[in-house]
Structure 1
Amino acid sequence: MDKKETCCIKVNLPGGVISAGDLYELLLIAENAGAQVIRIGNRQQLFFCIDADQLEDMEMDMLRAEISYEINEDEFPNIISSYVTDAIFNTESWIKEGVYKDIFDLFNFKPKLKINLVDQHQTFVPFFSGNFNFITSNISNYWYLYVRFPKTTDIYCWPSMVYSDDIPLLSQTAEKMIMAHKAQFYDRQKINHQKFHDLVMAQNDFVTQPITEPLKLPDFQLPYYEGINRYVNNKYWLGIYRRNELFPLEFMKDICTICLKNRIGQLYTTPWKSLLIKGISEDDRKEWGSILNKHLINVRHASNELNWQLENLNSESLELKQQLVRIFEEYDLRTYRLCFAIKMQPKTGLPGSIIIKKQLPDVFDILHTSDFNPNSKDYVTYREKVPKVDLARCLIGLCNHFYSILIDDSISPSVLPNETDEKETHYIYRCQSCFSIYDQTFGDIVNDIIPGIDFQILDEYTCPICDSPKSSFIRIENSMDNIGWRGNL
């Protein structure tokens, strides 16, 4: 029997928020079309899959419900925001629920480029994974803007702060300029930032403020986003993560039903592919616990399983993550203040402290940001062309190195010794057979060599990847000009 053709349906949730009533209606449409589960994407959107022969009826239902969607496409990426963090992961900022909603309401177009609206005081939602990255300043209703031009790692800091009400119009104007001048601003190695700024500003009279101090990013710390937790006014929030990324429709319908019953108006999706519900009262905790029991939902996973960024609907990356997490668990690996991203496709924009980047089938490069902050875009290559079977031990070595640096509390991640000092030559050694790198900064966990051991004083050394002898290694200078050692994803 021929396998039925399936269609993937994507529904954007601007800002990662949806009312319980709207979500319930969407779940019914998905269920009527034959879906059994729904997924959350890394841009806070929703996905479900149906057989192609159910598509026509589903489209009629979506039309009646006035729900926008895409079929097997991602032409209109979701606008993501840190709205989900308000009152639970962040209480310091001027930006609150009303400001977020006012900005969302002003979007009268569907963006084709990625837009992030992020509070600078939190680290739960990524800062620079969008094309237009608006980040709160210390001045109420004014935002920094960092433009990451499409298909590049070129990030441009807008020279003035943007007013909240201007965010939608400025985004639309900037998007039009990029799309109308792709030869200059789209997938280009060199971009004239000043020309781009002048073209955009010539279109409208935007309200701006001068930048009086540079943006200072907080040190990364991923909050534990699972379980039932108390926050303000004796209220609780519930975070739900699914190891297989699948949220059963029956469970989700029960979630919506109890929200409607207890007047919880909104549910939140997160960039970590999880669901979050705020405003649970003390009296209702038992009822929520009963729903979790009914559907056998586990809400206490290990932290080193929660700190991963994966491409959407990608079974290969999910399987690799699960394999690595099992090994991390056996090793009892500490991953606090780190997060991992698996990139099976180029230029996905996924943020991570440590990046696992596919080069060939079952062969990967391992990179990390220079200060191990996932919001950085300065990448350092740690290992190249690592076979899948060796990934775990290389990652364990890199994590242990990170903590060896942090043993001295006076050392900040922002000064981790991975930046090449232009005034001092730093040599590394590369295997001519498999291009594996030995750097004394990191040592070699496979061969039990601690960081700081010069390659020259090693007596009998063999490559941890291909077992080539020490004589197969050549000395090269570790600098920005060395292709394959330092670079951008």
Structure 2
Amino acid sequence: MLKKTQTIHINFTGGIISPGYLLSILEIAETAKISEVRFGQRQQLIIEVSAQTALLFADHVSTTPNIISAYPATGIFISNTWLSEGIYKDVFEMLNWESKLKINVCDSRNTFTPFFTGHLNWIAGTQPNYWHLVFRYPKSNQLFAWPEQLYTNHIGELSRQLETQLLNHEPIQGVPVEKDLQLPDFHLPYYEGFNKYDQYYWLGIYRRNEYFPVSFLKGLCHICLETKTGQLYATPWKSLIIRNIEQEHRPLWDYLLGKYGINVRHAANELNWQIPDNNEDALVLKRHIIRHFDSADVRTYGLCFSVGHHCFGSIVITQQEAKYKTVLKGQLRYDISYTPDFNPNSGILINYRSGVAKEHLGPYITALCKYFYERHNTNDPLPGYVAAHTVAIPPVEKYVHQCPACLSIYDEQMGDPDQSIVPNTPFEQLPDQYQCALCEGPKADFKQVSYATLTA
């Protein structure tokens, strides 16, 4: 008989992880004979525990959704923003009660963290300390925007008030999301490997199967604590980012990655996926489609895919409800949808294909990717670029010499074969006794005139 387990969540507010706190949790996990842990879409730690060992984590288990934020991207994917670490932490302090609703805190220029996967979505405006608020009722995908921007100091009080109204499904005045908030075009940055920024490095770690070895994470925490430079963050892509790594500490990280065989250079077309937490079937489906992408050499830049997830994805794959519980996996069917502009933050889905068998998902989604690029590449920018960067060269004016008596011309390119003058002989090199071929007027009488005036 299989040992029964339960899933526990441990929140890291805004995705910010204290290495010392994480280390204490990992030591408990090691005591409980747990060898691997996961990170979830809401930037929290997920651990499978037995009923007997669950009590060991009692002081750390979170029963409310984690507050997620774009802070892990600040300074590496988002620059020159007024939304600094200090302001993020001020906001988190205002949201310090155990909210039953999901809360997102993001920069408006961010394309790394989903805007609208929360029930209360605070999005920094362009003016310092002013925010957009987009909200949705529980178990609904319909988005509403607060009719005006709000000052930072109002975030905590208004969030508490709205939580009660949303949970009770009380009417709240809202306007279309697009009224003032302009969503940036989605371009997911490559969030793996060692990358230079300022005088430091940051390191992104993604795991294909979503599992992180506990012993590896313990080593990671020890390096952060010993060097006093590493800042650790969980991302909505179930990955980790370590920032402020100094050059002299690179060998420590290289050793740790090598010791555990951690690959940090996966293909970009498998990093842009949102998969439900603890869903092995969704992971299998993702691998199946990625294999097709690899074999067909499909470009996916600018797109985000999700499986069974309706809030964040350019292209969404959902499994249809089976009529019978005993249906075989080969008989499962899927629906493919996409957002109107392929921006994953859009809450509107357009059906593309319904009732698709697993083996046909790859070709259909590939065709949808092709449609995305056809839509976004209707106007070739090269001619406009060439025109804007081309320096106009004024035409070289051509001059000829004309006899004033009969208006005959001497054209240097033609010469005067009848008088043994070869082509390309300049007028100045003609002999002094040269005469007009028609009226025999002397060379000295010829006048220089513009060829353009003769042909006008």
Task: Report the TM-score when normalising by structure 1.
Answer: 0.73
The offset of 1:49, in angstroms, is: 1.0
> Corresponding residue for 2:452?
none
The offset of 1:409, in angstroms, is: 4.2
Query: Paired residue for 1:224, among 187, 190, 215?
Result: 190
Cα deviation digits, residues 19-53 of structure 1 (max 9, x gap): 11111111111111121111010111110112222
Counterpart-to-counterpart distance in 1, 2:53 and 2:377: 58
Counterpart-to-counterpart distance in 2, 1:101 and 1:108: 10
Give the alignment of 1:413-428 within 5 angstroms: none
Give the alignment of 1:396-411 within 5 angstroms: 396-409=366-379
SS at match of 1:26: helix
> Corresponding residue for 1:353?
314
The offset of 1:410, in angstroms, is: 6.3
Counterpart-to-counterpart distance in 2, 1:264 and 1:342: 37
Cα deviation digits, residues 111-169 of structure 1 (max 9, x gap): 11111101011100011111111111111111000111111122111012122232122
> Corresponding residue for 2:273?
308
The offset of 1:257, in angstroms, is: 0.4
Counterpart-to-counterpart distance in 1, 2:79 and 2:166: 36
Q: Is the 8 A contact 1:34 1:51 kept in 2?
A: no
SS at match of 2:248: helix
Counterpart-to-counterpart distance in 2, 1:245 and 1:270: 12
Deviates more, 1:381-390 or 1:272-281: 381-390
> Corresponding residue for 2:163?
175
Q: Does 1:25 align with 2:18?
A: no
Letter matched to residue 380 of structure 1: I
Query: Paired residue for 1:96, among 61, 68, 84?
Result: 84
Give the alignment of 1:154-233 within 5 angstroms: 154-179=142-167, 181-182=168-169, 184=170, 192-194=171-173, 214-232=180-198
SS at match of 1:341: strand
Please identify the structure whose Cα radius of gyration is greater.
2
Q: Is the 8 A contact 2:319 2:334 kept in 1?
A: yes
> Corresponding residue for 2:393?
none
Task: Report the TM-score when normalising by structure 2.
Answer: 0.78
The offset of 1:405, in angstroms, is: 2.3
> Corresponding residue for 2:450?
none
Counterpart-to-counterpart distance in 2, 1:86 and 1:152: 30
Counterpart-to-counterpart distance in 2, 1:352 and 1:359: 18
Structure 1 residues 227 and 144, CA, compared in 2 at 3 Å: closer, same or farther? same
SS at match of 1:39: strand
Q: How many corresponding residue pairs?
A: 371
> Corresponding residue for 1:454?
none
Give the alignment of 1:250-265 within 5 angstroms: 250-264=215-229
Cα deviation digits, residues 357-387 of structure 1 (max 9, x gap): 1113521110000000101112111101111
Structure 1 residues 52 and 156, CA, compared in 2 at 3 Å: closer, same or farther? same
Structure 1: tracts of 5 or more residues without a match:
185-191, 198-210, 412-489
Counterpart-to-counterpart distance in 1, 2:69 and 2:182: 19
The offset of 1:312, in angstroms, is: 0.4
> Corresponding residue for 1:284?
249
The offset of 1:395, in angstroms, is: 0.5
Counterpart-to-counterpart distance in 2, 1:235 and 1:154: 42
Q: Does 1:123 align with 2:89?
A: no
Q: Does 1:83 align with 2:44?
A: no
Cα deviation digits, residues 64-117 of structure 1 (max 9, x gap): xxx3x14xxxx5111100000110001031101111111112223111111110
Counterpart-to-counterpart distance in 2, 1:373 and 1:402: 11
Identity percentage over the alignment? 44
Letter matched to residue 405 of structure 1: R
Give the alignment of 1:104-123 within 5 angstroms: 104-123=92-111
> Corresponding residue for 1:54?
53
Structure 2: tracts of 5 or more residues without a match:
323-331, 382-456
Letter matched to residue 24 of structure 1: L
Counterpart-to-counterpart distance in 2, 1:51 and 1:147: 37
> Corresponding residue for 2:11?
12
Cα deviation digits, residues 193-220 of structure 1 (max 9, x gap): 33x89xxxxxxxxxxxxx9x81111100
Q: Is the 8 A contact 1:92 1:121 kept in 2?
A: no
> Corresponding residue for 2:140?
152
Cα RMSD (Å): 1.9
